[in-house]
Structure 1
Amino acid sequence: MFKNARIYRLGAPFGRAAAELEAALGTRRFRPCGPVEVATLGWSAPLGEDTSALVHGVGGCLLLCLRKQERLLPSSAVAEAVDERIAEIEAGEARDLSRSERRALREQTVTEMLPRAFTRSRRTLLYIDTESGWLVVDAASEKQAEEAISLLRLTLETLPAKPPAPRQPPAGILTAWLLTGEAPADFIPADACELRDSEDSASVIRCKGQDLASEEILNHLRAGKQVVKLALDWDERLAFILADDLSLKRLRVGDALLDEIEDGDDPAARLDAEFALMALQLRELFVRLDALFGLVGEPA
C-alpha cells in the first residue's frame, strides 16, 4: 500500500480508541472545493470511496487517509487575462493603472476564473502504531507529510509527534557499509545510491543500476563523499531506499510475503490484508533501525 514511509515518534501513548478517533475525524471529513476555494483538506475513507469508515484498525495500527483537492489555475493563464484587462482599461481611459488597481484587478480575475478551473485530488495515507508508538506517513516529501500531521494535530487538538533524532549519524553508517562491505547480514545493498560531498551539499552523484562495490563508487567514498541514500533489501521482506533522514522511498513488500495474501474480488479486503502485512513488517524494521541508529531520540 505505502510507497514511502516517513516516521514520527509519538511523545506519549496514543490513548484514543478507533471509535473515538473516528468521531474526531468526522468533524473534518473531506468535502470538494467550493466555487471560489483554491483548495480543501479533509479526512477520507482509507480503504477507498466505496467504504465509509475514516479509521481502519488492524493489529494495533490505525490507518487514516488525508484527501486534498486543489483547483488548477495556472499563473500564466491568470497573468495573461490580467494583462488583457489592464491593456483594455488603460487604452479606454488613457491612463496608467496604479499598483493597487492592478492588484484588485488580479484578485477579481482569479475570483471569476476559479469556478471554471479543473480540480485535482491527492490522497495521503498514514497510520498510528499504538503498540510501538510510531506515526507513519506515505509521503515522498517532508512538506506533504507535515501537511497530514498538521491536520491530524488540528483535528485532535494535540499530537506530540517528532521525526526521529538518531544517536548515530545515518550517512556515516551507510557510507561505512559500502566502504567496508560489511553491512549487517539482514541488510543487502542493492544497485542504487546517492552520494553527497560533506563540505559541498551541491556536489551530488546519483547512481542507479550500478555495482556499489565497484572501484568507481569506492573512490568517491574515499575522496570524502557520504552515502545519503541507499537502496537496501531487508531480510527478503522489504525493499526500499533509506535516506539519511531515515525516511523510506520506493518501499516494496517482498514477493514471497505478498504471495501469502489470497486473491479475491473484494478490493477492500485485499487492501486490509496488504496493510496488515506491511504494518507488521515496518514495525519489525523500525526495531532493527532503532538498534542501528538509535531512532528514539528525544521525546516529542
Structure 2
Amino acid sequence: MFKNARFFRLDTSFGLDAAELEERLATRRFRPCGPIETATMGWAAPLGEETSALVHAVGGCFLMCARKQERLLPSAAVAEALDERVAELESGEARDIGRAERRRLREQIINEMLPRAFTRSRRTQLYVDTEAGWLVVDAASEKQAEDIVSLLRETLESLPAKLPAPSKTPTAIMSSWLLEDSAPNDFVPGDACELRDAEDNAGVIRCSKQDLASDEILNHLRAGKRATKLALEWDERLSFTLAEDLSLKRLRVGDSLLEELDDDDMDPAMRLDAEFAILALQLRQLIARFDELFVLSATSLAAASPTESSSAEPGPAPTRQDAPF
C-alpha cells in the first residue's frame, strides 16, 4: 500500500469516530478541475473509485485518501504564445508593450489555454492511528505531506499535528550503527545510505548496492560525515530507507507477513483491507520502537530515568508476538 511514510504526532486525542470523520470529509469531496481552474484537491474513496466511503476503519486506524488534479500548462507554451501575441501587437500598432500589459496578456493567454489543457491526478493515502496518536502520510516529499495535512486541518477546522522532534539525533545514531556496528538486533542495515559532511551540507555521498561495513564507507564516517539516510530491515517485518527527519521511503512489508494474502479468491477490496491492517499494525509498533531509540515524545523522555534518557544504548528489541489489532 504505502511506498513512503511521514509521521505527525497528534498532541490531543483525535476525538472523531469513523462516521463523524466521514461526514466532515464529505464537505470537501474531490471534484475535477473546472475549465479555468489550475488545480483542485479533495477527498476520495481510499478503497478505489468503485466504492463511495471516504473513511475505512480498521483496528483504531482511519484510512483516507486525498486526490489532487492539476491542469498541465507548460510555462514554455505560455511564454511562446505570449511572445507571439506581443510581437503581433507591437507590429500592428507600432508601439512597445509595457510590463503591466504583458502581465495582462499572459493572464489572458492562460485563461484561453486552460480549458484545452490536459489534466493529471495524484492520489495520496494517509491514516490516523487513534490509539497511538499518530497521523501517517504516504508522501515522498515534505511539501506533499504538508499539503495533505493542511487539507485535513482545513476540513476538520482543527488538527494539532506536528512533526516528531526527537531528543536523540537520528543522524548520530545511524552513523554509530554503521561506524561501531552497533545497530540493535531487530534492525539490520541494508546496502544503501547517504552520507553528508557535518559542516558542509553540500558535500554528499550516495551509496547503493554497497557493503556499508567496508573500509570505504567507514573512512567517510571517520572523516566526519554523517549518515542522513540508511536502508534498514526491521525484525523481518518491514524494509525501508530511514531519513534524518524519520521519514520512510521505499517502504515494503516483509514477505512472511503477506503470505496469508496469497488467496486468489480475495477480491481487491478485501486484499486492500487486509494489507492496510497488516501495515498499520507494523507501523504502530515501528513508531513505538523509534520512540524508544530516538525519544520522540516528552512523555517517554519524562518516563525515563536520567541515566536511561542520556544513554546511547537502545532499548530491548520487541518480541515477535503481535498485539491484538
TM-score tier (shorter): over 0.9
Which shifted more, 64-73 or 91-100? 91-100
CA 1:298 to 1:124, structure 2 compared with 1: closer, same or farther past 3 Å? Answer: farther
Aligned position for 1:36? 36
Deviations 1:107-129 (A, max 9, x none): 00000000000000000100000
Structure 2 gaps, min length 5: 301-325
Amino acid in the other structure paired with 1:276: A
> 2:298, 2:250 → 1: CA distance?
25
- Aligned residues of 1:165 and 1:297 also touching (Cα < 8 A): no
Alignment correspondent of 2:57: 57
Using the TM superposition, give the Cα deviation of residue 20 of structure 1 relative to its aligned residue in structure 2, in angstroms: 0.3
Deviation (angstroms), 1:100: 1.1
Give the aligned residue type for 1:112.
E
Find the residue that maps to 2:28 and give its secondary structure. Answer: coil
Q: SS of the residue aligned with 1:67?
A: strand
Moved more, 176-185 or 265-274: 265-274
Aligned residue for 1:115, secondary structure, equals helix
Q: How does 1:1-300 map to 2 (within 5 A)?
A: 1-263=1-263, 264-297=265-298
Aligned residues: 299
**Contact persistence 1:190–1:231 (CA under 8 A):** yes
Deviations 1:157-191 (A, max 9, x none): 00000000001000000000001111000000000
Q: Tell me if the contact between 1:166 and 1:297 (Cα under 8 Å) persists in the aligned partners.
A: no
Q: 1:269, CA displacement in angstroms?
A: 1.0
Give the TM-score normalised by structure 2: 0.91
Deviations 1:79-114 (A, max 9, x none): 000100110111000111111111111100000000
**What is aligned with 2:307?**
none
Q: Distance in 1 between matches of 2:268 and 2:228?
A: 37
8 Å contact from structure 1 (residues 28, 43) kept in 2: yes
CA RMSD in angstroms comes to 1.1
| One-letter amino acid matched to 1:223 | A
Q: For residue 284 of structure 2, what is the amino acid of its counterpart?
A: R
Letter in 2 for 1:155: T
Among the aligned pairs, what percent are the same residue? 71
Q: Structure 1: 5+ residue runs without aligned partners?
A: none
Specify the code of the residue in structure 1 equivalent to 2:168: Q
Higher relative CO (CA 8 A, sep ≥ 6), structure 1 or 2? 1
Q: Residue 53 of structure 2: SS of its match in structure 1?
A: coil
CA–CA distance in structure 1, aligned partners of residues 189 and 291 of structure 2: 19
How far has the Cα of 1:262 moved from its partner? 4.3
- AA aligned to 2:279 is M
After TM superposition, which residue ranges in structure 1, 4 or more long, deviate above 2 angstroms?
Answer: 262-265
* Distance (whole Å) between structure 2 residues aligned to residue 261 and residue 131 of structure 1: 25
Q: In structure 1, what is the Cα distance between the partners aligned to 2:171 and 2:298?
A: 17
Which letter does structure 2 place at the counterpart of 1:296?
Answer: S
The 8 Å contact of residues 165 and 298 in structure 1, kept in 2 or not, is answered as no
Contact conserved, 1:192 with 1:230, CA < 8 A, in 2? yes
2:155 is paired with a residue of what secondary structure?
Answer: helix
Q: Structure 1: which amino acid aligns with 2:278?
A: L
Deviation string for 1:172-222 (max 9, x for gaps)? Answer: 000000011110000000000000001000000000000000000000000
> Scaled by the length of structure 1, what TM-score is found?
0.98
Distance 1:174 1:65 in 2: 32
State how far apart, in whole Å, the 2-side matches of 1:190 and 1:82 are: 51
